[in-house]
Amino acid sequence: MALYVQKFGGTSVADPERISEVVDHVRRTVARGDQVVMVVSAMGKETDELLRLANEVSDVRPGREMDMLITAGERKAVALVAMALHGAGIPADSFTGSQAGIITDTTHENARIEEVMADRIKESLAAGSVPVVAGSQGMSTDKEVTFLGRGGSDTTAVALAHRLEADACELYTDVPGVFTTDPRLVTNARKMSHLSFDELLEMTACGCPKPAMRSVEYAHRHGVALHIRSAFTWEQGTWVNEEGSMERAIVTAVVHDMSEAKVTISHVPDEPGIAARLFRTLADEDVNVDMIVQNVSNEGVTDISFTVPMSQLDGAVAAANGLGIGQVTSDDKIGKISLIGAGMKSNPGVAAQMFETLAENGINIQMLSTSGIRISAIVDAGRTEDAVNVLHAAFELDRPVF
């Protein structure tokens, strides 16, 4: 008998029909003789709706009250799912984060899990029931209701899987797994059967619709095996663990992100402390800087480029202009493409092959940055889709590896 923590996101429980599909799914796992702990997010767009109401009601929205409000969404969802399980003849008990023993710090709206008690979850399992736990919520060390932030249900699921020593933490989504690239862009994108935590973290950081980064970090730290799969099929999804695939592919995936814009400051005096002033100013304005590139100095002046989320472009440009350290220009017609693969560390030829492939296809690289297992390039927005396709083909990512 195995124990699975199964997490279902908002799309999977958006309406009574979807809920009944989820119930059917759980029913089959239980019928196999396995145990299930469910973690459920708020239904469909409910969290957005609650945020909209809060905005309408007040300009002052204390974190404590926001958390009380938002967590009502998951509470509603778990009660309905538990009822639906009863309706299908499966004993079930819903639990709020607090009842499930999820103890967090006191940071409202973005609380961190400090401890997982799970006594009532264990009792419910022992009684032959399916515990249905409200995702992304807990009780703080000072007894307040806390919300773990958007995507926090993944973290709840991973934390429970760790505490209950579950055989796997299954994260159900509306896609059947993690692909070598975006299947909407590349027709022969391939679903990966295995992936390492490091690779998934790099993909998540690159803006793919993957599990919340915190939950992957949590799973990584505690060695919780993740299984990312579809809520609407029974096919195997993508397993994420320490080793990743037995397959020794050098490059695992190509991901892209169209949500960023580029800021360039030219004719910056090449003096110590200039870059520090710039990025301190941006940090103070809560601008999330992603890639940073500084060219080599030429006649005492240099150029600094960086990318920011499209929505923060105006703020970033204003902040940069305010410093008066050079000429500020910006470009929101860019795309970021990243090659990801744990095998890249020991294969210096990957970068060269990437640049050659792009050059052969007339795609210009505007900015470049690398990590141990990732190479990211900024290209023209209009060429992003081409870039993803030619790289996916060049690295033969469509070919199954064993």
List contacts with its own copies (CB under 8 A): 16, 19-20, 50, 53-54, 56-62, 64-66, 68-69, 71-73, 75-76, 78-80, 82-84, 86-88, 92-94, 96, 99, 143, 145
Query: What span, in angstroms and rounded, lies between the C-alpha atoms of 347 and 335?
Result: 25
Shortest reach from residue 80's CB to its own copies, in Å: 5
For residue 132, which phi and psi values (nearest 5 degrees)?
Answer: -120, 110
**Cβ 42 to its own copies shortest distance, Å:** 10
Work out how close the CB of 262 gets to its own copies at its nearest, in angstroms, rounded to a whole number.
37
Using alpha carbons, select from 322, 337, 292, 290 the residue that is nearest to residue 309.
Answer: 290
Q: Compare residues 78 and 387 and give the one whose CB is closer to its own copies.
A: 78
- CB of 110: closest distance to its own copies in angstroms? 17
Quick one: 78 or 148, whose CB is closer to its own copies?
78
Q: CB nearer to its own copies: give 57 or 352.
A: 57
- Taking the least distance from each CB to its own copies, the nearer of 65 and 285 is 65
CB of 57 to its own copies, least distance (A): 5
Q: For residues 188-221, b (16+ Cβ closer than 10 Å) or e, as one string? A: ebbbbbbbbbbbbbbbbbbbbebbbbbbbebbbe
The two tokens of residue 242 are 């320490």
- CA torsion through residues 396, 398, 400, 401, sign: positive
Name the residue nearer to its own copies (CB basis): 146 or 245: 146
Q: Which is nearer to its own copies, 140 or 181 (CB)?
A: 140
Quote the least distance from Cβ 172 to its own copies, whole Å: 18
Backbone angle region of 93, left / alpha / beta, with phi > 0 → left and psi within -120 to 50 → alpha: beta
**Is the CB of 16 or the CB of 223 nearer to its own copies?**
16
Q: What would the 3-class secondary structure string for 299-352 be?
A: CCEEEEEEEEEHHHHHHHHHHHHHHCCCEEEEECCEEEEEEECHHHHHCCHHHH
Identify the residue whose tokens are 């909407």.
184
**Sequence-separated contacts (24+) of 278-281 with Cβ below 8 Å:** 278/304, 278/320, 278/323, 278/325, 281/319, 281/320, 281/322, 281/323
Question: Considering the complex, what minimum distance in angstroms separates the CB of residue 351 from its own copies?
Answer: 51
For its own copies, the closer of residues 64 and 112 by Cβ is: 64
CB of 145 to its own copies, least distance (A): 8
d(CA 153, CA 40): 7
Neighbours of 372 (CB within 10 A): 10
